[in-house]
Amino acid sequence: MNKLDRNFYLQDTLKVAKELIGMYIVRNYNGTELIMKITETEAYIGSIDKACHAYGGRRTKRTEIMYGIGGYAYIYLIYGMYNCFNIVTEEKEKACAVLIRGGSPEKGINEMSQLRYEKAYNELTAYQIKNFANGPGKLCIAMKITKELNEKDLLSDDFYIAKGKKQNYDIKCSKRINIDYAEEAKDFLWRFYV
């Protein structure tokens, strides 16, 4: 698979968020290649976005990676139990990222099913298949994306994003999810999905 290069991540965050749709997350876990097609993203831009962890120049140990150069993983915990995988975008000091909100399993499906549900994929119910990776925490469970991968360079050989097949996706945009606290930013149409 063709790994994305650094220049892809240095583009405008909204452009990256849209263009990631149909790309593949590739993760080597315990000798198995896990591949998930990206189907849903959300953009976060620190300078103007009250939903962004780095809004208004907020700089903490956790958010420091967002101030680095694009192409690194920013992984944090929500509700004390679910990991969220974000990709840092743009130049240094911009504090922008794209949250990977959902995907569909492509390779290593049985391994992902064991990680997600502790059973083989062919034993899953229709409900479980529908909900396999349709949320950021679910996707991270299925691909074993944990805080250990925080700050990982996505140009590495064991965790990266690869180009998808050329397809004309009907990409929709909407408001982002679960950010009602973010005042006017809650209405930004920065969620992209197929």
Helices (H), the chain: 6-9, 13-19, 109-117, 126-130, 136-143
One digit per residue, pLDDT tens: the chain, 194 residues?
Answer: 799 999 999 999 999 999 999 999 999 999 999 999 999 999 999 999 999 999 999 999 999 999 999 999 999 999 889 999 999 999 999 999 999 999 999 999 999 999 999 999 999 999 999 999 999 999 999 999 999 999 999 999 999 999 987 778 899 999 999 999 999 999 999 999 99
Helices (H), 120-167: 126-130, 136-143
Domain assignment present for 156: yes
Q: What is the pTM of this model?
A: 0.96
Give the domain range for residue 158: 6-193
Residue at 74: amino acid letter: Y
- Rounded distance between C-alpha atoms, residue 94 and residue 66, angstroms: 8
> Which CATH number characterizes residue 181's domain?
3.10.300.10
Domain assignment present for 1: no
Count of domains forming the chain: 1
Specify whether the CB–CB gap between 137 and 82 falls below 8 A.
Answer: yes
Domain assignment present for 56: yes
The Cα-based distances of 145 to 34, 53, 84, 159, 184 in angstroms read 11, 20, 8, 9, 31
Domain assignment present for 132: yes
Domain assignment present for 84: yes
Domain assignment present for 21: yes
Q: What is the pLDDT of residues 72-111, one digit of tens each?
A: 999 999 988 999 999 999 999 999 999 999 999 999 999 9
